[in-house]
Amino acid sequence: MSEEDDLDLASLSDEELVEQMHDDLYDGLKDEICEGVNILLERGWTPYKVLTDALVEGMRIVGVDFRDGILFVPEVLMSANAMKAGMGILRPLLAETGAPKMGKMVIGTVKGDIHDIGKNLVSMMMEGAGFEVIDIGINNPVENYLAALEEHKPDILGMSALLTTTMPYMKVVIDAMVEKGIRDDYIVMVGGAPLNEEFGQAVGADAYGRDAAVTVEMAKDLIARKHNQLAARTG
């Protein structure tokens, strides 16, 4: 039996456990991540704190070594799967706030891009804040976005991109909306690690969400503003 097998996660202090979870995420150990998530929840940690301190921070560390050529795609995929398993435990807890229905969002990762962890996190946090979220998945061509808008008539369209090569595609989608005369019917929000505020403005989005928490706050503000504008017009 290896040293790893012997380790009793429940015997670790909070700080040691979180550090161990960063290592386990790095090593793609799904079962250990799920166990760690459950232990922290049992100790009274909020789902949001488990998500940010244990999982998101762990994935940040993975990202650094991926960038530096220390980790490769297969290893990072295992980390991503372990992260998703942990997020699976947190998802219902984050969605369970009983918040009043705020509005509807369609969200998807753009064409050519298969990264979905950040998008999934945004979906989870939006659901937790009372939004109905329709997630159209990864690698979406413009037609998928337009079809989802037509079908679901959301308040917000969210787009995610993690690659510098795929982020310009957001403009393709927004330009298609302009061409069809439907751009102003929706709030368009964009996000993903390589984006920034200026990029969001340059492609014609209404807002850039730096992270999931900021996206939720911005979405609430933008929805409130939209409702006020409608009320002013009709009242």
CB nearer to ligand B1M: pick between 12 and 75: 75
Among 58, 103, 128, 191, indicate the residue that binds ligand B1M (CB under 6 A): 191
Scanning the structure block, which residue is given the tokens 């369970």?
96
List the one residue out of 228, 224, 149, 219 whose CA is nearest residue 181.
149
* Amino acid identity, position 173: V
- Binding residue (CB under 6 A) for ligand B1M from 115, 173, 174, 206: 115
- Considering the rule CB under 6 A, would residue 108 count as an interface residue with ligand B1M? no
- DSSP letter (8 states) at residue 115: -
| 34, 95, 128, 210 from 82: Cα distances, Å | 8, 20, 22, 23
Nearer to ligand B1M, 20 or 215 (CB): 215
Angle, alpha carbons 85-83-149 (nearest 5°): 85
Q: Which x/- pattern, by CB under 6 A, does the window 59-98 give for ligand B1M?
A: x--xx--xx-----x--xx--x------------------
Would you count residue 212 as binding ligand B1M (CB under 6 A)? yes
Question: If you compute the radius of gyration of the chain from its CA atoms, what whole number of angstroms results?
Answer: 19
Q: Helix (H, G, I), strand (E, B), or coil: what is residue 157?
A: strand
Q: Is 135 helix (H, G, I), strand (E, B) or coil?
A: strand
Please state the closest distance from residue 227 (CB atom) to ligand B1M, in A.
19
Whichever of 38 and 139 has its CB closer to ligand B1M, that residue is 139
Applying CB under 6 A, which residues contact ligand B1M? Answer: 56, 59, 62-63, 66-67, 73, 76-77, 80, 107, 112-119, 121-122, 158-160, 162-164, 189-194, 209, 211-212, 215
